[in-house]
Amino acid sequence: MNKKENLNQAFKELRKLGYFARQNFMCCQSCAWAAVPMHAKKVVFYHKQDADQLNDTGECFLAWSGDRDEIAEVLERNGVLKTKPENEAKRFEISIN
């Protein structure tokens, strides 16, 4: 399995855990947060600008809300976690390199 497939699997697992989890979601972080359903408390996504960076460098950041440790566990298990954020004000960093 290649790393992009690993990332796809991680997002699939997050959705099974009740996350609103989307890849290449909306144009930017502001628009993406505005488009997240009001009821969603558990959220993980990267937007088009992040997707462009992922395609160029193999790395990008994920916006999130919910259980930081649960998200980190899923990303790590799928081999794409690079950096776990220190707090809710920071984003996860992932790598598919």
The residues of the chain scoring below 50 in pLDDT are none
- Domain of 73 in residue numbering reads as 3-95
The pLDDT assigned to 1 comes to: 57
Tell me how many domains the chain contains: 1
pTM of the model: 0.96
The pLDDT assigned to 2 comes to: 79
Contacts of 29 (CB under 8 A, 6+ apart): 47, 49, 63
Enumerate long-range contacts of 5-12, CB under 8 Å, 24 or more apart.
6/78, 6/79, 6/80, 6/96, 7/78, 7/80, 7/94, 7/96, 9/78, 10/74, 10/75, 10/77, 10/78, 10/80, 11/44
Would you tell me how many other CB atoms lie within 10 Å of the CB of residue 62?
A: 25
